């Protein structure tokens, strides 16, 4: 077993990081103070963690940890100071925050030493109470353990795959699973990035790219070209500004935007289809103004509600139509943006506009859906104003439109008479339940934790620039490269060509 020793602040770190194993092979510690657990990229040697049970209200949440530092997590969060628990045995422990030693929860912990674990690596499971506060606290505590970082999309599965732990049939589903995960994360990231926070990250990313381009230009061209020393001095200022800003941001937890948690359900459709009426029906109070005038709703109206125990964030959007009104056009743009970010879209259609024949009605609806949505995987069709249809047609549509290929679930309702609402609510409830039961689905705390991890690496990498600035510019530049890569994991990858483009735009390289 590895010997342990306390480090400042009560954090326990495994001996691999700090204690010499033998006289012959001392670990290199030059970088350990800043780059601990932050190698150049997301190598498999990292230890990852994630909430692997469903999000939303549930009795027990399972948090999984996988990788070489799993034992460290177990030691410093479940109080195993002497020896690790017997493998694959559930033990009831107090789970504590390694920074404050505050007890976060009492729950079950399980230790799965490699190779007999899901991922083939050392692995730990924490079974804790399912409330969001407890889950968030445990995830944040894990994030503070050296060597641990939040898992990327599909990472657990990928590791299991690489360790040969998945059978061929499971592997076939893997690509789709990763697709679903990246898709869920993409939507989550879009929500986070479309606001003030996104602009902040983008600004940092632009400034960092410029710093890198200028350092690279100085390295690759300054011997033959007119690239004056002043360039590097400007980079120095930029780098220390950026480092200070990022560190301030990391300290100031309140500055993060309010995280929109819950299933994002968006009501969309043409003007005057009754979208706001549906919102009001669902939240049982007049949250949105309803009028017979087309285009009444011009901005997104948001309401949080509890749907049979699951958190839902319901948004009503402006009716989609071409408009010359500037305000309305902006409303339509926002509506489309919101649909893009939605987990589930309720497409509302005025039944009175439907052709009377079923075939033509189906074709009409397919066409309509295409104009509203990029794909029909995550939507329900709501045919409103059913009370305006003759009884016979209503029944025909209700029975025959179900199961028509190319259409999602269809429900006929009337917000006026409440007809069909109950049946619709049942469908909506089961869709939301499915989404919440999916562990991939929008855990904003995880997104936030991932952002934090990348930002911390970014700041640490900038410190490397300053440490080597005067002695070895190649190693200093390595710091800026690392910072760009870390931030790029939030804002998007940055390629060598992009950096060269900035170089050639900013300098006359004549040789």
Which residues contact other proteins by CB under 8 A?
A: 20, 23-26, 28-31, 35, 39-41, 43-45, 153-154, 158, 161, 168, 171-172, 174-176, 178-179, 182, 216, 218-226, 468, 471-478, 495-496, 499-500, 503-504, 508-511
CB closer to other proteins out of 354 and 480: 480
Cβ-contact 338, 317 below 8 angstroms: yes
Angle at 77 between CA 72 and CA 79, to 5 degrees: 90
CB closer to other proteins out of 2 and 226: 226
Residue 293: Cβ-neighbour burial (10 angstroms; 0-12, 13-18, 19+): exposed
> Greatest CA span in the chain, whole angstroms?
90
CB closer to other proteins out of 219 and 409: 219
Cβ-contact 439, 52 below 8 angstroms: yes
DSSP character at residue 2: -
CB closer to other proteins out of 431 and 456: 456
| CB 505, min distance to other proteins, A | 9
CB closer to other proteins out of 275 and 469: 469
* Edge-first strand listing for the sheet containing 91-96: 91-96, 103-112, 123-129, 60-66, 47-51, 148-150
| CB 189, min distance to other proteins, A | 14
Cβ-contact 211, 242 below 8 angstroms: yes
CB closer to other proteins out of 293 and 496: 496
**CA-to-CA distance for 426 and 436, rounded, in angstroms?**
15
473-491 vs 168-193: helix crossing angle, rounded to 10? 90
| CB 202, min distance to other proteins, A | 20
CB closer to other proteins out of 69 and 282: 69
**From the centroid of its chain, how far is CA 256?**
14
CB closer to other proteins out of 222 and 296: 222
| CB 99, min distance to other proteins, A | 24
Cβ-contact 182, 154 below 8 angstroms: yes
| CB 373, min distance to other proteins, A | 18
Place of tokens 């799993």: 70
| CB 216, min distance to other proteins, A | 4
Q: Kindly give the pairing relationship between strand 4-6 and strand 12-14.
A: antiparallel
| CB 167, min distance to other proteins, A | 12
**CA-to-CA distance for 359 and 486, rounded, in angstroms?**
53
| CB 63, min distance to other proteins, A | 23
């Amino acid at each position: 077993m590895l010997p342990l020793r306390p480090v400042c602040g009560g954090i326990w770190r495994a001996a691999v990081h700090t204690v010499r194993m033998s006289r012959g092979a001392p670990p290199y510690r030059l970088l350990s103070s800043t780059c601990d657990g932050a190698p150049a990229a997301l190598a498999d040697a990292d230890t990852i963690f994630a909430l692997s049970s469903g999000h939303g209200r549930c009795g027990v949440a399972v948090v999984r940890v996988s990788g070489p530092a799993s034992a460290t997590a177990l030691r410093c969060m479940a109080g195993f100071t002497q020896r690790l628990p017997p493998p694959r045995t559930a033990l009831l422990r107090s789970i504590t925050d390694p920074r404050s030693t505050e007890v976060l929860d009492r729950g079950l912990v399980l230790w799965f030493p490699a190779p007999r674990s899901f991922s083939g690596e050392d692995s730990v499971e924490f079974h804790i109470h399912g409330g969001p506060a407890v889950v968030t606290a445990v995830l944040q505590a894990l994030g503070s353990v050296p060597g641990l970082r939040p898992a990327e999309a599909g990472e657990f599965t990928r590791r299991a795959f690489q360790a040969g732990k998945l059978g061929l049939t499971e592997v076939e589903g893997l690509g789709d699973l990763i697709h679903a995960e990246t898709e869920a994360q993409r939507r989550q990231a879009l929500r986070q990035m479309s606001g003030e926070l996104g602009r902040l990250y983008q600004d940092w990313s632009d400034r960092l790219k410029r710093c890198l381009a200028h350092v690279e230009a100085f390295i690759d061209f300054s011997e033959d070209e007119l690239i004056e020393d002043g360039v590097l001095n400007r980079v120095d200022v930029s780098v220390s500004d950026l480092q200070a800003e990022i560190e301030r941001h990391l300290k100031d937890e309140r500055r993060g935007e309010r995280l929109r948690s819950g299933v994002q359900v968006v009501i969309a459709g043409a003007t005057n289809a009754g979208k706001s009426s549906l919102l009001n029906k669902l939240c049982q109070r007049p949250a949105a103004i309803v009028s017979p005038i087309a285009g009444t709703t011009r901005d997104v109206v948001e309401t949080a509600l509890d749907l049979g125990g699951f958190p839902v964030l319901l948004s009503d959007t402006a009716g989609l139509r071409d408009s010359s009104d500037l305000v309305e056009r902006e409303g339509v743009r926002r509506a489309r943006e919101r649909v893009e970010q939605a987990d589930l879209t309720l497409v509302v259609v005025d039944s009175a506009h439907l052709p009377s024949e079923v075939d033509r009605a189906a074709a009409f609806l397919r066409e309509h859906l295409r104009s509203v949505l990029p794909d029909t995987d995550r939507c329900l069709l709501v045919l409103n104003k059913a009370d305006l249809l003759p009884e016979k047609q209503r029944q025909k549509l209700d029975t025959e439109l179900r199961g028509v290929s190319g259409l999602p679930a269809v429900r006929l309702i009337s917000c006026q008479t409440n007809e069909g609402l109950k049946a619709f609510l049942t469908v909506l409830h089961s869709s939301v339940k499915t989404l919440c039961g999916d562990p991939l689905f929008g855990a904003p705390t995880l997104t936030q934790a991932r952002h934090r991890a990348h930002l911390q690496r970014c700041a640490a990498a900038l410190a490397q620039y300053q440490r080597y600035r005067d002695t070895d510019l190649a190693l200093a530049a390595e710091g800026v490269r690392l910072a760009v890569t870390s931030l790029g994991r939030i804002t998007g990858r940055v390629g060598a060509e992009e950096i060269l483009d900035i170089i050639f735009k900013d300098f006359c390289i004549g040789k």
